[in-house]
Amino acid sequence: MMHPTADQFLSAGLDGTIRLWDIRNSDTAVRHCLTDVPIRINPLTRAMFASQAIIRTDHLPVSHVCAAYDQEGVVFGVYTDDHLIRMYDARNYQEGPFAKFSLYDTSVLAAVEPFLAQMQAPNLNVKKLHALDLRFSPDGNQLLVTTNRGVFIHLDAFEGKLLHLFKEHGLTQSQRSDPQLGCCYSSDGAYVVTGAEDGRVFFYKSATGQYVHTLPQGHNGPVVDLQWNPKRHLLASVGGNSTVLWSAASV
């Protein structure tokens, strides 16, 4: 993910690393790689980037890893396979995370389990709950977490407290595999928008979690990504074999 104001970006890889890159460097060398979980240094990688600190998780393979900046680039969140979301100060990330939130918090599990039971999806048990994507609200106070269980978790970005569960979209097709669905905030942060497996797009009030309305089916498959234009009232959705732009009239 690109830094909102600087020439830097975060990458999350299945090699178990979260890396911070500086694109001003002609060699696009890694600036730093972060995690505070048990680590080991890869000698080959160290030789390639001799002046860089390359750190990786101690367990491979890694199936679920993601990272995101807040809207100001002041804070970023990181998720790895250990069910923890770690929050870093972008200016002092070398000091380690200033907060950690567990997806296995009792309040989160208690909210997700009834959803999966209602969907009658025994293969999607809560014991293997992982984050697939992180999104900060425009004001940076909330964190929207896409999970591999087809449900979207809304957290306080500083305390990790569960705020809401966005689940009106339900599950229809992927009851035997991990659903891959997209979500985003509206540009003003008033709404959370989530994708569904049947190609529809759902709107919720971010402050209350209340379901608002659904856009008509725009795709012939699951909606895997959603992006809201930060300056215009325009929403883009991706799913199946198409990308759809929704104007203010439809949104």
Q: Which of 102, 135, 158 is the last residue of a domain?
A: 102
Same domain assignment for residues 55 and 127:
no
Task: Provide the residue range defining the domain that includes 119.
Answer: 105-251
pLDDT at 229: 92
Given a contact cutoff of 8 angstroms between Cβ atoms, the answer to whether 56 and 16 are in contact is yes
Q: Are residues 154 and 240 in the same domain?
A: yes
Together in a domain, 119 and 223: yes
Tell me the per-residue pLDDT of 133-177, one tens digit each, with 9 for 90 and over: 999 999 999 999 999 888 899 999 999 999 999 988 876 555 546
pLDDT at 51: 25
Listed residues 34, 67, 102: the one ending a domain: 102
Query: 97-127: per-residue pLDDT in tens?
Result: 899 999 999 999 999 888 777 765 555 666 6
Rounded CA-CA distance 110/103 in Å is: 11
Q: Quote the pTM value.
A: 0.83
Cα separation, 66 vs 134, in Å, equals 7
Residues 157 and 231 in one domain: yes
Residue 71 and residue 113 share a domain = no
Are residue 96 and residue 113 in the same domain, yes or no? no
- If asked whether residues 110 and 201 sit together in one domain, one would say yes
Together in a domain, 49 and 2: yes
Please say which residue of 84, 102, 120 terminates a domain: 102
DSSP 8-state secondary structure symbol assigned to residue 42: -
Average pLDDT over residues 209-228: 92
What tokens were used for 231? 């300056």
Same domain, 61 and 95: yes
Average pLDDT of every residue of the chain: 80
Mean pLDDT of 212-241: 91
Instruction: Band the pLDDT of 44: cuts 50, 70, 90.
Output: very low
Number of structural domains (the chain) is: 2
Q: Which residues contact 32 (CB under 8 A, 6 or more apart)?
A: 19, 20, 52, 53, 93, 94
Domain at 197, CATH number: 2.130.10.10
| CA angle (28 as vertex; 25, 34 as ends), nearest 5 | 110
C-alpha closest to that of 65 among 87, 84, 46: 84
Question: Is 151 found in the same domain as 54?
Answer: no
Rounded distance between C-alpha atoms, residue 32 and residue 94, angstroms:
9
**Mean pLDDT value of segment 215-239:** 91
